Amino acid sequence: MSSLLKNRLQEERKQWRKDHPYGFFAKPEKSADGSLNLQSWTAGVPGKDNTIWENATYPLTITFPNDFPSKPPKVRLPAGFYHPNVYPSGTICLSILNEDQDWRPGINLKQILLGVQELLDTPNPDSPAQEPAWRAFGKDRALYEKKVIEQAKKYAKAG
């Protein structure tokens, strides 16, 4: 493993620990020996208030590849997540997570998660990743909103 990767992942943990946006969480997964695996995180992104995504926290998994930060992390929502720019597997089609588009090694976890939050309510119809949500978003907005609100209930914040 490269020193760059180690140093950077420690930095990500430290930065997040010291400062993260309200309503978000992000933590490395626990390994069998009780240590935390800094290459594999789980996180939660709250839907923005006053949008059809509100009152829910959407779970993400974030995997940092060995060549991070040259390469972006893989960020996934649950498989089958309903959103025009989310693949059936849950992989998110977001330009800042795309090495050939807007990924820069300086982009940190906070920016990524804020980017995902932003994408939720502002899908990009030019970059379809799944058919149902993309189709409904373009052609049957009422159906789209109904599905999104149903999904928000599924991921509703506890309490």
Q: Residues with catalytic annotation?
A: 93
Q: Taking the complex as a whole, how short is the minimal distance between the CB of residue 144 and other proteins, in angstroms?
A: 12
> Are the beta carbons of 132 and 88 closer than 8 angstroms?
no
Check binding of 127 to other proteins (CB under 8 A).
yes
Check binding of 104 to other proteins (CB under 8 A).
no
As given in the structure block, the two tokens for residue 79 are: 């498989």
Distances (CA, A) of 25 to 88, 105, 124, 126: 24, 22, 25, 30
Check binding of 145 to other proteins (CB under 8 A).
no
Instruction: Let me know if 133 is exposed, middle or buried by CB neighbors in 10 A (0-12, 13-18, 19+).
Output: buried
Span 38-97, contacts to other proteins by CB under 8 A? 38-39, 64, 67, 70-71, 74, 78-80, 82, 87-91, 93
Distance CA 137, CA 147 (A): 10
Q: Which is nearer to other proteins, 46 or 137 (CB)?
A: 137
Check binding of 37 to other proteins (CB under 8 A).
yes
Minimal CA–CA distance to 67: which of 10, 105, 30?
105
Which residues are near other proteins by CB under 8 A? 1-7, 9-11, 13-14, 17, 28, 31, 33-39, 64, 67, 70-71, 74, 78-80, 82, 87-91, 93, 98-101, 125-132, 134, 147, 150-151, 154
